[in-house]
Amino acid sequence: MPDGLEKLVEHDLSEDCPVCRAQEVVATALLPAAAAWEDSNGLPRFSLALQGAAGLLGTMLEQGVARDEIEAVLSRLLDDVEAHIAEEGAMGGPPLGSA
C-alpha cells in the first residue's frame, strides 16, 4: 500500500489519533444523519453511503490517486471492519445505544 494512503488507515487508538477521530465523527454524526435523510426522503437504505462514498472516491481519482491504491486501502479497511464486527459479535454485540 502506498505511503500516502497508509497514514489514513494506520492508527494508535489514542485520543489524538486523526484516524480514530475521523471514525468517531462518521459513526456519531454522518451515519445517523445519512440514515435519517434516507428515511425522511424515501430513499433505499444505504443509498447515501454507497453513492456518497463513490463520489468521495471519485474526487480522490480526480486528484490523481491511482485506482489500485484506493482499492488496496479499501480492501484493508473492509478487512478491519469485518474483524471489528466479528469481535463485537463474539463479545455480545455493540454497546447499547450505539447500534
Between CA 55 and CA 46 the distance in angstroms is: 14
In 3D space, the residue among 20, 16, 17 whose CA is nearest the CA of residue 28 turns out to be 20
pLDDT tens per residue, range 7-56? 888 877 777 888 888 888 999 999 999 999 999 999 999 999 899 999 99
Assessment of whether the complete model's pTM goes beyond 0.75: no
Q: How far is CA 64 from CA 68, 69, 88, in A?
A: 12, 10, 36
Residue 59 near residue 70, CB atoms below 8 Å: no
Those residues whose C-beta lies under 8 Å from the C-beta of residue 19, and which sit 6 or more positions away, are 8, 9, 10, 11
